[in-house]
Amino acid sequence: MAYTLGSTTEGQTRSVGPQHCVTRVELSVTASSLLDRDVASKSDPFCVLFHEVDGNWMEIVSNKKLHRPLILANGKPAGKGSIMITAQELSDNRIITLTLSGRKLDKKDFFGKSDPYLEFHKQGEDGTWMLVHRTEVIKNTLDPSWKPFTVPLISLCNGDVDRNIKVLCYDYDNDGGHDFIGEFQTTAAKMSEAQNSVEVEFDCINPKKQKKKKNYKNSGFIIVKSCKITRDYTFLDYILGGCQLMFTVGIDFTASNGNPREPSSLHYINPLGSNEYLAAILAVGQIIQDYDTDKMFPALGFGAQLAPDWKVSHEFAINFDPTNPFCSGVEGIAQAYSACLPHIRFYGPTNFAPIINHVARFAAQALQQEKAAQYFNLLIITDGVISDMDETRDAIIQASKLPMSIIIIGVGNADFAAMEFLDGDASVLRSSTGEEAVRDIVQFVPFRDFRNAPKETLAKSVLAELPQQVTQYFKQRNVPPANSAPK
């Protein structure tokens, strides 16, 4: 059986910049001469793959839920058996999506029809066939329609569209003794003819029946209703293709943070030169800045009164230059933050919508990009409850249509239930009028959970959903990386 793995997944990221490249690989596992653990029949072995994470072994894939037990050895098992694992680099990012059905398949069940499913096998260099994909079982029918499925093209045929593929059709039995219906061989190139309502039909042949019966034609038909070969771009593809992650920081300067001159304040800079706000900025910024070539980042504040008229502002540059709010690198943000504290008055309320809309205006300008050149990330660091929840929900719903993500870090010990709600992991976020978010773009993390952890741990948690959010946005709009091979 073949498993497609990567050193990082779409839903995870490591604390590394794009200079630390990772490789996706396919592991193929075969076994022979395994011990017989069943009394009345042979063993039904399955394979579980683990990898080490922080000293612990974590299960990452298993074939124990497959419809058909993975019996890899023929004949009576002898000895303890042997297992062979081979690895193949997945340098080809093409994927193939297939929709298939069957017609007039052989009846195999005494009290019913058949419960058909398909297996796809690719041929190895030594001529042996290896299982690549198994469809779901369709119960009690001779005319099944299977759900569409997608597999890497390199897994199905080593990326060679003219390489032979064997497709086998079985009737599923609960005892594992599945009945063979028939088979055929084809290629990805041949199946790709099934497009634009044109179907490709194959005779499903049972070789034993074909030899015994002179008038035998087939055991039914397998129809490829649709076949599409596309490119499955990863987060790494977009980054190495030139996509810039545009980073903006929004800092909460409301009065609930406390007087920054008092040690009890969340904005108090201790003798070591840090506080939770600075720690959050540095932990996240030092990672994400590697994905921006010029490393010039806007840094905005909200909820404070500003000189000379001391009116409250929910969207101001912490370097006090509204025409150029950019800071040079994360260290520049930290310096501007420290320098602005004596010159503002903490006030309120805690409004998120103005800063979200500020970044969204720039993200909207990138809507027309034909290639993935820019993606915007807003980091909001706050201590408490949102005052403009309806407006914030509305702003997030509109931002979900843009190349934009929002990271919220909660500092202090306040109730962050509203932040969890905005995160949208438990349910789909809706606007005040009921409009649903196109996609989940908010990630919330409470800083208190990481006070005694390495800063890399905070960064990993905060950025966990970002790769998936980036790829999801560009895939939804069919936007390829800026420097990508043609389809």
Q: What is the dihedral sign for C-alpha 306, 311, 313, 317?
A: negative
Enclosing H/E stretch for 353: helix 353-365
Residue 78: the pLDDT is 37
The whole-angstrom separation of Cα 455 and Cα 284 is 8
The sign of the dihedral angle between the CA atoms of 150, 153, 154, 156 is positive
**Angle (deg, nearest 10), helices 276-288 and 455-462:** 70
Query: What residues does 394 pair with on adjacent strands?
Result: none
What is the spatial distance between Cα 429 and Cα 438, in angstroms, rounded to a whole number?
9
| Residue 228: its H or E element | strand 221-231
Give the amino acid at 135.
T
Q: What is the pLDDT of residue 23?
A: 62
Q: Which domains does the chain have, with CATH numbers?
A: 94-231 (2.60.40.150), 235-477 (3.40.50.410)
Closest CA to 306 of 316, 297, 294: 316
- For tokens 């000895």, name the residue: 79
Read off the pLDDT of residues 107-120 as tens digits, 9 standing for 90 and up: 987 778 999 999 99
Q: Which of 24-38, 148-162, 211-225, 383-397 has the lowest mean pLDDT?
A: 24-38
- The pLDDT tens digits of the residues spanning 190-233 come to 999 999 999 999 999 999 999 999 899 999 999 999 999 999 99
Go through 99-129 and write b for each residue having 16 or more CB atoms within 10 A of its CB, e for each that does not: bbbbeebbebeeeebbbbbbbbbbbeeeeee
pLDDT band at 84 (very low <50, low <70, confident <90, very high): low
**What is the DSSP-derived secondary structure letter of residue 26?**
E
**pLDDT score, position 20:** 41
Q: What are 152's two structure tokens?
A: 């890497």
pTM, 2 dp: 0.74
- What proportions of the chain, in percent to the nearest 5, are helix, strand and coil? 20, 30, 45
Secondary structure E strands in 91-218: 94-103, 116-123, 129-134, 149-152, 165-171, 179-186, 200-203
CA distance 324 to 133: 55
